[in-house]
Amino acid sequence: MEPIRVLIVDDHAIVRQGLRAVARVLPSLEWVGEARTGYEAVAAVAQLRPDVVLMDLVMPELDGVGAIAQIKRSHPGTRVIALTTFADAELVLGAVQAGADGYLLKDVEVAELERAIAAVYAGRPYLHPEATRHLLQATAGPAEPPARLTAREREVLALVARGHTNRQIAGELKIAEKTVSVHVSNILAKLELESRTQAALYAARAGLVAPDAAGT
């Protein structure tokens, strides 16, 4: 497989240097560039077309949440992992609502960072358990049981929430991958969600998966 092309965005040079070093020593990753601000990140994505962006959230001028929203509007296929020093409820919720595919704390181990990048690159959500806890606290009460979903759609949603790809879901449920894709699209439309990450959160709130199993 070709390495996953990674763009690093952080306003602290030492953090960029550390992440760059990690990306360069892992054969599964390829460092393609970096940015210091949200505006630079938006421009860099347009120019470099990375597969995955590691996005700091607290930056001057355009912050990470604003940058994620702009990147997702212009380049919806680009995966973004929010990467910050603390799991503040408002920050986590803002990042997910903006379209972040994953959320990690900066003290993450290298192995978990590599897993998270591989997961979001494959189209799976990846949320640090602490981020999931804050997301559940930040949303008002549990989600209503997904009565609008069929039994099969509830099965698919639970597997999406556990981080399964469409191919893995197809194998688990013994159905065609294209059928899974249709189910996922229907689930997002019925629940008025925009991403698999938001779907994972909904499933945790609705009790379809344990909170610590959502997006990991």
* Structure confidence by residue, pLDDT tens digits, 113-138: 999 999 999 988 888 777 666 666 65
SS3 25: helix
| Higher pLDDT among residues 110 and 211, named by residue | 110
> Which pair of structure tokens corresponds to residue 58?
């607290």
Which of the listed ranges 2-16, 185-199, 202-216 does the model predict with the highest average pLDDT?
A: 2-16
Domains and CATH numbers, the chain: 4-138 (3.40.50.2300), 151-213 (1.10.10.10)
> Which pair of structure tokens corresponds to residue 3?
């390495």
Residue 6 identity (one-letter amino acid): V
Residue 169's pLDDT is what? 92
Q: How far is CA 43 from the centre of its chain?
A: 21
Indicate whether 209 pLDDT > 60. Answer: yes
pLDDT tens, 160-182? 888 888 899 999 999 999 999 99
Indicate whether 55 pLDDT > 90. Answer: yes
Query: How many beta carbons lie within 10 A of that of residue 103, not counting itself?
Result: 29
Please check whether residue 19 is in contact with residue 8, taking contact to mean a CB–CB distance below 8 angstroms: yes
What burial class does residue 86 get, using C-beta atoms within 10 Å of its C-beta: 0-12 exposed, 13-18 middle, 19+ buried?
middle
